[in-house]
Chain A
Amino acid sequence: MSCSDFNDLDAELTAFGHPGGSSVRAVHDQFHGDLLEVSMGPQHPSTHGVFRMVATLDGEQIVKLKPVFGYLHRNHEKIAENTTYLGSMPYTDRLDYLCSMSTNWAYALAVEKLSGQAVPDRAQYLRIIMAELTRLVNHACLVGFLFNDLGTSFTPLLYAFREREKIIDLFEALSGSRMMCNYQRFGGCRVDPTPEWLAAARTLVENFPRFLDEYERMLTGNEIMLARTQGIGRLDPAHAVNAGLTGPVLRASGVDYDLRKVDGYGFYPRFDFRVPLGAQGDTYDRYMLRILEMRESVKILVQAFRDLPGGPIMDPKAKLRSFRPKAGEAYGRLEGPKGELGFYLISDGTPNPYRYRVRPPSLINLTLLEEMCLGHTIADAVVILGSIDIVLGEVDR
């Protein structure tokens, strides 16, 4: 097999991994000797769902890695173009099913931009409370899953899910559903929390740093963890910006770009918080960044509970039924826990959007997966993927 044939691997990969095919295959190449192709996923415990990657290995080192998508492509955009604006709100819950509150908000933000809908102050604060609680859930679970990928089967995840259950109980008490909250509306929120709910949430937030300290005491200084993450999966800032990476993955490479500061959407400019930045852009930085972001989220939440004003939670002029925005288009985006989550809407004046597009941070953050993994071992690829933090509902939509 010649060198140029090696570039034709893609065509072969297409056939390889087909439902009738094998998942491991030897490839011969004049430079590398015997290479091995491994198809990881879509059923694999550490691909975080039905993600699949086809890795070409030289011994244990990765020389080529191609992600394969679409195993959870459930046609969210097509369905949304055939339903009303409000009818798509429950579907946004199922995009990023760990963070339904922030995906709801991103969609509401885009529609409000499209229709010029105002949002009352109390709803703005509630949105920030929900979004930051969601960030806590997401980052805590991410760290748990990351350690699963590192080989500490399940134990850190048990701690993370213990905290997740507490927050999810709050979401359930408020919205009626544990995961699919369907809470935001165009022009406000759906349910006003009771004083008891707010008191419970405040207690949870006040106790959260203790959990973080406990978590960090167990994990951050761990020798194996340091050896497996420091210097692994380096990402340089110029590449990251060009590849459109956003969220904690980008900031771990030292690029100061947080939409909460840049766009200042919602009432975020009223809050005092810092944007943590990494220096090395490796897996360890991506892990630490999540821990630091959780601490900043706690700071935001404490301020939000302190300053939460009274008043209505829905704009009285908001229209839910027969909602028809003027013809036009809008792109609304916010800083989701995984990165820039955007919705691009084109309205033609009818009750259904003409074009409905989700800008999925999880998908675009995978653009540089191959570059990050090259030269590392296959076991490191699992950890690098874990540190990028994807959710397949959003990757494939």
Chain B
Amino acid sequence: MSDAPQSTPASPRPAPAEGFPAAGNISDADREELRRHGILLTSLEELYNWGRSNSIWPLQFGLACCAIEMIAAATARFDIARFGAEIFRPSPRQADLMIVSGTVTKKMAPLVVRLWNQMPEPKYCIAMGACAISGGPFKQGYNVLKGIDRLIPVDIYIPGCPPRPEALLNGLIQLQKQIKGEKLTGPDAARHTRADLPSEYPIPAYGAHDLEPAKNPAVWTPPAPPSA
């Protein structure tokens, strides 16, 4: 995989098949009735999403204080294994989920993007804690990236400084809900099925005064200030 900045994926994915029979033409009540008779009826999409959402492998990757709470979420008391996400992979090639747990400094940001590019699709990103969302208490730091969503797309934001392990678990459940609702076909298909959406993002370079570029306009546009 090339690490050169690029906006389109290196190998085009097959275009979604048109006219694929849409899942769920049978009503939930009918399905429930069938299930009571021992017949499980599901769509490929549901089965696929059910499997994916219950075995999310996070990247073993701690940045700062929030990483300690992430470890705490994996220990016996909070037990992230109940949600099928206890297999922390040290290699991005084996991971589905990047939990950006802590302050992303400008020195670290290119490496975070590079790790994200190395993760295979489908992949998800959780911004854990105030620092990963916006710079948090360290927003005024010259070396602090003011939110990881300036460089890579973020699916779930978990506020807190640091968020409690329960908050991380809640974020994980929200992510599972998102995955379960993903479509494989059609115009609102999930990101990883779409050939026109990038899977890799430009890696900023270390500049003389700042990162270059400091943000990715394709991913993030600043909110409009109130017009008061």
Whether A and B touch directly in their complex, counting CB atoms under 8 A apart, is answered as: yes
Point out residues on A near B: beta carbons under 8 Å.
18-20, 42-45, 49-50, 70-76, 78-79, 82, 90-91, 94, 97-98, 154, 157-158, 161-162, 164-165, 178-180, 392-393, 396
Partner of B138, one of A79, A157, A178, A180: A79
B55 touches A (CB below 8 Å): no
A70 to B62, CA, bound (A): 15
Q: Inside 8 A of A74's CB, which chain B residues have their CB?
A: 64, 103, 105, 131, 138, 141, 143-144
17 A–B pairs (Cβ distance < 8 Å), ordered by A: A19-B111, A43-B61, A49-B63, A49-B67, A70-B105, A73-B143, A74-B64, A75-B138, A75-B140, A75-B141, A78-B142, A94-B65, A178-B69, A178-B164, A179-B65, A179-B162, A180-B162
Is there contact, CB below 8 Å, between B71 and A161? yes
Contacts A49-B62, A79-B140 given: A73-B105 contact, CB under 8 Å? yes
A98 to B64, CA, bound (A): 11
B60 touches A (CB below 8 Å): yes
Closest residue of A by beta carbon distance from B72 = A161
A67 to B206, CA, bound (A): 19
Is there contact, CB below 8 Å, between B114 and A79? no
B3 touches A (CB below 8 Å): yes
Q: A71-B108, A75-B144 are in contact. List 14 more A-B contacts (CB 8 A).
A: A18-B206, A43-B59, A49-B63, A50-B62, A73-B143, A74-B138, A74-B141, A75-B141, A75-B142, A78-B142, A79-B140, A91-B137, A161-B77, A393-B65
Partner of A179, one of B68, B88, B103: B68
Is there contact, CB below 8 Å, between A393 and B143? no
Is there contact, CB below 8 Å, between A20 and B3? yes
Is there contact, CB below 8 Å, between A97 and B68? yes
Q: Is the interface of A mostly helix, strand, loop or mixed?
A: loop
Give the Cβ gap from A159 to chain B, nearest Cβ, in Å: 9
B107 touches A (CB below 8 Å): yes
A18 to B107, CA, bound (A): 10
Q: List 7 A-B pairs, minimum CB-CB distance, nearest first.
A: A75-B141, A19-B110, A97-B65, A161-B75, A74-B138, A71-B108, A45-B90
Q: Inside 8 A of A71's CB, which chain B residues have their CB?
A: 105, 107-108, 111
Partner of B76, one of A19, A75, A78, A161: A161
Q: Inside 8 A of A50's CB, which chain B residues have their CB?
A: 62-64, 108
B34 touches A (CB below 8 Å): no
Q: Which residues 45-95 in B have Cβ within 8 Å of A in the complex?
A: 59-65, 67-69, 71-72, 74-77, 88, 90, 92
A165 to B165, CA, bound (A): 11
B161 touches A (CB below 8 Å): yes
A75 to B205, CA, bound (A): 20
What 1/0 flags go to B103-130 for Cβ under 8 Å of A? 1010110110111000000000000000
Q: Inside 8 A of B141's CB, which chain A residues have their CB?
A: 74-76, 78-79
Give the Cβ gap from B158 to chain A, nearest Cβ, in Å: 15
Give the Cβ gap from A234 to chain B, nearest Cβ, in Å: 29
Is there contact, CB below 8 Å, between A162 and B143? no
Is there contact, CB below 8 Å, between B3 and A392? no
Give the Cβ gap from B71 to chain A, nearest Cβ, in Å: 7
Is there contact, CB below 8 Å, between A20 and B203? yes
Give the Cβ gap from A82 to chain B, nearest Cβ, in Å: 7
Give the Cβ gap from A291 to chain B, nearest Cβ, in Å: 21
A270 to B76, CA, bound (A): 39
Closest residue of A by beta carbon distance from B5 = A20
Partner of A72, one of B64, B164, B205: B64
Q: Inside 8 A of A393's CB, which chain B residues have their CB?
A: 64-65
Closest residue of A by beta carbon distance from B114 = A19
Is there contact, CB below 8 Å, between B138 and A162? no
A393 to B64, CA, bound (A): 7
Partner of A165, one of B72, B114, B138, B143: B72
Is there contact, CB below 8 Å, between A19 and B205? yes
Is there contact, CB below 8 Å, between A97 and B143? no
Is there contact, CB below 8 Å, between A94 and B137? yes
Q: Inside 8 A of A180's CB, which chain B residues have their CB?
A: 65, 161-162
A98 to B72, CA, bound (A): 12
Closest residue of A by beta carbon distance from B76 = A158
Q: Which residues 156-196 in B have Cβ within 8 Å of A in the complex?
A: 161-162, 164
Give the Cβ gap from A25 to chain B, nearest Cβ, in Å: 16
Q: Inside 8 A of B63's CB, which chain A residues have their CB?
A: 49-50, 72
Residue with the highest number of chain B CB atoms closer than 10 Å, among A42, A43, A74: A74
Closest residue of B by beta carbon distance from A98 = B68
Partner of A157, one of B75, B102, B142, B162: B75
Q: Inside 8 A of A164's CB, which chain B residues have their CB?
A: 72
A265 to B4, CA, bound (A): 55
Closest residue of B by beta carbon distance from A75 = B141
Closest residue of B by beta carbon distance from A70 = B107
